[in-house]
Amino acid sequence: MFDLLSFLRPSGTFSHGIHPAENKHYTAHMPIRRLPFAPELVLPLSQHFGAPSEAIVHPGQEVVRGEPIAKANGFMSVPLHAPATGRIKRIELMPTAKGPRTPSIILEVYPGDSQEVRYDFPRDYTTMEPADIVKAVQDTGLVGLGGAAFPTHVKLSPPKEHKVHTVLLNGCECEPFLTTDHRVMLEYPEDLIRGTKILMKALGAERAIIGTEENKMDAVAAIQAVLPADGSIEVRAVPTKYPQGAEKMLAKALMGVEIPSGSFPSSVGLGVFNVASTAELGALFPHSQGVIERVVTVTGPGIEKPGNYLVPIGTPIGFILDQLGFAGSANTLIMGGPMMGGSVSSLEVPMTKGSGGLLVLTEQILEQQHELSTHPCISCAQCLDACPMHLNPSQLGKLAYKHRYEDMQSDFHLMDCFECGCCSYVCPSGIPLVQYFRIAKSSLREQAARERAAAS
């Protein structure tokens, strides 16, 4: 509970955080395998952070695998590519992992097709200008594959006053159960290095550090074997701890710097990218391809054949579960990891660019969780000792209970919370702290939007 000896431990990590059971043994050793095409793919136009893509196809149109089917709507947006050769069936509202139904392109896959990817033209980043690289990255439709789905090319265009000197590659994958990044680092280290070089070129950065956790030393070895001789890229393992994979925690662990509250990493000269995104960039960029599939860890005690699968974007969850088999009856499906992932409301929900994991828990596990009934806060201070942002979740929780959201924001820095869930995880009273904070934050955002609307 109280870490008196923290100052004795080697640095190279952040303070606070938790050590949940890793549960990576289900899939860590399993090579990436391809999953068959579902008969119908559901492609939401908004799979990323920013403006939704704009469809450029019409129902009935035939598309080839890899062909753009939606274009970027402005700079804060990315295009969408056909994950399979087939026919556009319709464009309509479909359920998504986040909840609300959003406009989606439904693609009927041709079963007999060879599913050859339509290549564009070769590109050589070494001879390209940074601005052209940024445009080319946008054309690949690449977004952060770690979960946030933030468009990669936007991160490559930091504000002019910020000079990025170091690129950090985030391969921590601190969420329990997930092994996507681990397998990508292990199996595609060349792509990762190429992607890293592209990012460095675009940002004008002199060096890059690939950061991972100490539970993935085989990946470290695989990367070390292909590192460039000039020493511009290095790989480092930091202690395994949740949430090491948060970019603010990684910056602290690898560089010893804190990203100021409310600022981008570029304000301290850093660019932080997920390793799977970077490896994807390294694979797609030279051929001018778009993102049409991604590696997904399908895992948990509720699945018969857990593993790391290459899944076409838009594959419905129900199809994956049918292929890999439920081990239980009524399960809880989680898109992402157990700490930050969201429950899924419908089996029609498709895998999108940001979904790196599909976790299937069992009823037994859930029942164990429900045994923690909610007591009042007993001020045990465990949440303060867990919060990686050094906030005061205990006090925030008490204020949230009284709906004093403004006080939470002004006096206790609610907006610095990135919802890692450590506080809820350790709370002996079973208070759903992080859920309170989500509600408080969205309520404050709505209020701010209303005020802006009223002012204009």
Partner 1 sequence: MSTAGHKVVLHTSPHLRETPSVKVIMRNVVWALLPIVAFSVYQFGISVLALTFVCVGTCIGVEHVACRLSGKQSTVNDWSVTITGLLLALTLPPGFPLWMAAVAAIAGVGIGKLFFGGLGYNIMNPALIGRAFAQAAFTAPMTTWVPIMAEDRFTQFIPSTLTLPFLRPESIQPWLASVAPDGFSGATPLALMKFEQVPTESLSLLLGSTAGSAGETSALLIMLCGAYLVYRRMMDVRITISILVVAALTTTVFYLINPDTYPGPLFMLCSGGMMLGAVFMATDMVASPVTPLGVWIYGGLIGFITIIIRLFGGLSEGIMYAILLANACSPLISSVTQPRRYGAPSKKGTG
Q: How far is the CB of 318 from partner 1 (least distance, A)?
A: 5
Instruction: Please identify, using beta-carbon distances, which residue of 286 and 432 lies nearer to partner 1.
Output: 432
Q: Quote the longest CA-to-CA distance of the chain.
A: 66
Sequence-separated (6 or more) residues with CB below 8 Å from residue 392: 383, 384, 412
Instruction: Please identify, using beta-carbon distances, which residue of 130 and 328 lies nearer to partner 1.
Output: 328
Asked if 204 and 276 count as a contact pair (C-beta separation under 8 A), the reply is no
In 3-state terms, what secondary structure has residue 40? strand
Instruction: Please identify, using beta-carbon distances, which residue of 381 and 449 lies nearer to partner 1.
Output: 381
Sequence-separated (6 or more) residues with CB below 8 Å from residue 122: 286, 287, 288
Instruction: Please identify, using beta-carbon distances, which residue of 13 and 382 lies nearer to partner 1.
Output: 382
Instruction: Please identify, using beta-carbon distances, which residue of 156 and 320 lies nearer to partner 1.
Output: 320
CA 283 to mean position of chain CA atoms: 19
Instruction: Please identify, using beta-carbon distances, which residue of 75 and 418 lies nearer to partner 1.
Output: 418
Asked if 32 and 293 count as a contact pair (C-beta separation under 8 A), the reply is no
Alpha-carbon Rg of the chain, whole angstroms?
22
Q: How far is the CB of 264 from partner 1 (least distance, A)?
A: 12
For every residue of 153-219, DSSP letters joined together read HHHTS--TT----EEEEEE---STT--HHHHHHHH-HHHHHHHHHHHHHHHT-SEEEEEEEGGGHHH
For residues 165 and 158, what is the distance between their CA atoms, to the nearest angstrom?
A: 12
Q: How far is the CB of 68 from partner 1 (least distance, A)?
A: 32
